[in-house]
Structure 1
Amino acid sequence: MGCPCRPHGTAGRTNWPAEILPVLEHTLTCEYASLTRTGAPITWPVAPYVAEDGRTVDVSTGLTYPSKAERARRDPRVALLFSDPTGSPVSGPPTVLVQGLATVRDADLQANTDLYLRRTLAKYPQSLARQPWFLVRRQVWYWARIWIEVTPLRVLWWPDGRLDAPPLRWEAAPEVTAPPSDPVPAGAGAPKWLEPPADWRPRADHAAGLGDPVLTVVGEDGWPLPLRSSGATRVDDGFLVRIGPPGVPARGRACLTFHTHDADMSGQENVVLVGEATPLSDGVHVRVERALADFSLSGSRAGQVRKMVRTARALAPRLEREAARRGQPVPVLRRPR
């Protein structure tokens, strides 16, 4: 699949619609969609941040699990859906879909890690309040980050989250461009650290209790198109999904993302299923082929700590390898002032 990047220009500060800015700034999670080598969409919940210069909406992924960034570096067409207001102070927010070009930043891992700590403390102050600093410093495997800066080219939004009505639309000026990503790291990356479930059905059964999923397909323009559904019914081979926006080209490779989180981000659960979508007269049939390996933190605090310890054992050895691929030392955690 070809890259649609335009040459990097010198566009000034963006003029995004004022009514969507509180959503971009204050929503705790958004659904980030990128494309695989074969052009299939994959969507995960992530933490969004508006860049200080107002040019990009940024998300991150761990240095020790860089797949989200690697997909964006190969094909920069990505999308961010802001459809879950849990924990947000914004009252009656619109549902917002941002489609744009991704720029992957991993040429300065120390600066990336410092920035992630600052942004996390500002947006999720309770995330570090629950543990002493000496324990936080041992979790470099988590805090070491790769940033994905998304330059919006198109924004659709549905006032009051009414997906049954036509969306409002904004498009960037022709001179707005995205800079190139940092160079591809040398050598082969680490193998997968989690094995996906052998059978997707138990995960699908559990997902049915996590609320309405996000269905992601690929639009006619080649961009991933994630949309919050208005319900999903479990059937033998997958799900029957109800989609609010009319005229969605819901055909072909598809991703169903179920997720939920606490208002203070003290716990979260994710289930991501991939397969094939076929439009129906009253919705979309998604035939599930497999479940992706996911990382969720739910249940008691003690149980979460035990899972984090197991995760640290699996991911910590990957730190030096991924940093070395980029010709850099492993970052250190420095407490923000």
Structure 2
Amino acid sequence: MQTNVIPLIDAYRTCELLTVGRDGTPIAWPTVSVRRPDGTILISTSIGFPQKAINVRRDPRVAVLFSDPTGSRLTAPDQVLVQGRATCPDEIVTDPGPWADLWLRVRERQPSSGYHRIPGMRGLMDWYYMRLLITVTPERITTSPAWRPQPPVSLPAVPAGDTGPFSKAVRRLADFPSAVLCGYDESGAPTMRRTRTKPVTDGFVLDGGDALKPGRASLLWHRHDENLADLRAFVVTGDLTRATDGCRLTPTHYVSTADRMGPLAMARMISGLRRSAARYLNRRGLSRPSIPWRDYAALERRSHPTPSRPA
């Protein structure tokens, strides 16, 4: 890994991880990563959100983009694109040891993730600590200038009752100044880039999309505050084509994973993730593992020891 990108990768609080779906669609979600001394990048997901891991086991081609500097304390840092391959053993990790460096980074950067501290939450959130570890081995690393805010585009009116992917996305665009375009470069490798999206009839015209091959593609919109709270994210997948007005993505599916939620919606989401985790276990004939809560508490104490009081 080039020395000039190391401080950038370490400073970004989040990144976008692209994996390839069963139908060949490249799709990305925001996540937290940690760079390891051997130059690999460790990313983890819960068995409540196993799709990234399942995709990697089927197709190891991945890309990681560091493009949103919120909370990094850097001013207009370069974006970093990592293209490579990933591995993800079909093994559920509950002990903090194998991912201690990543877990401590998440705890530091996302204070709201301390579910282990609250006994009443442990039973509800145990699935969060059933982890699948994804190791990315970089094959190509490139940098590009920081994304510069662009003037907002006008948003078309969409019918109130329209539940199609285009209309669902347009209703949320005002909260997001840019998106991450996922596709394939001319060599066939998955790639990503920040882009401004202009909604037109049933699709989005994209800045810079001509650098990608026509075909399956997706757009990710996401944002967070400096403590990785107030998370909002959604994705549209579809087909990327070249047209007279530029590259265009015509969406076929819309997926929302993070939005403002009240208590009832939050309870439904947690219940759904517990069911997802149970399905993952059942398909493998596994019983629900126990979580070593004391080990997580001890790791946190060791990393943030209480200062001794002066005599």
Into which bin does the TM-score normalised by the smaller protein fall? 0.7 to 0.9
Partner of 1:82: 66
Letter in 2 for 1:37: R
Structure 1 unaligned spans of 5+: 1-15, 163-196
Alpha-carbon distance, 1:227 to partner: 0.7
Secondary structure of 2:62's aligned partner: strand
Q: Indicate how the Cα distance of structure 1 residues 151 and 313 shifts in structure 2: closer, same or farther if over 3 A, else same.
A: same
Q: TM-score, normalised by structure 1?
A: 0.74
| Counterparts in 2 of 1:224 and 1:114: CA distance versus 1, 3 Å | closer
In the alignment, is residue 214 of structure 1 matched against residue 173 of structure 2? Answer: no
Check the 8 A contact 2:186/2:213 in 1, yes or no: no
* AA in 2 matched with 1:268: L
Q: Which residue of 1 aligns with 2:258?
A: 296
Structure 2, unaligned runs of 5 or more: 149-161, 299-311
- The residue number in structure 2 matching 1:223 is 189
Provide the aligned C-alpha RMSD in A: 2.7
Alignment of 1:136-215 (within 5 A): 136-138=121-123, 139-161=125-147, 199-209=164-174, 210-215=176-181
Alignment pair present for 1:258 and 2:221: yes
CA deviation vs aligned residue, 1:157-188 (integer Å, no higher than 9, x gap): 024458xxxxxxxxxxxxxxxxxxxxxxxxxx
Q: Cα deviation per residue 1:116-170 (whole Å; 9 max; x = unaligned)?
A: 64342233345439x95224423112232211110001001024458xxxxxxxx
1:92 counterpart = 2:76: yes
Partner of residue 330, structure 1: 289
- Structure 2 distance, partners of 1:100, 1:216, is 15
Name the CA shift for 1:248/1:331 in 2 (closer, same or farther; >3 Å).
farther
Task: Give the whole-Å Cα distance in 1 for the aligned partners of 2:164 and 2:245.
Answer: 28
> TM-score if structure 2 supplies the norm length?
0.80
User: Which whole-Å CA distance do the structure 2 matches of 1:91 and 1:34 have between them?
Assistant: 29
- Equivalent position of 2:41 in the other structure: 57
| Mapping 1:298-317, distance limit 5 Å | 298=260, 303=262, 305-317=263-275
The alignment-based identity, stated in percent, is 30
Structure 1 residue 208, shift from structure 2 partner: 1.8
**How many corresponding residue pairs?**
279
Whether 1:28 aligns to 2:13 is yes
Query: Per-residue CA shift, 1:7-33, capped at 9, x if unaligned?
Result: xxxxxxxxx122211221221221111
Output the CA distance in 1 between the equivalents of 2:198 and 2:51: 30
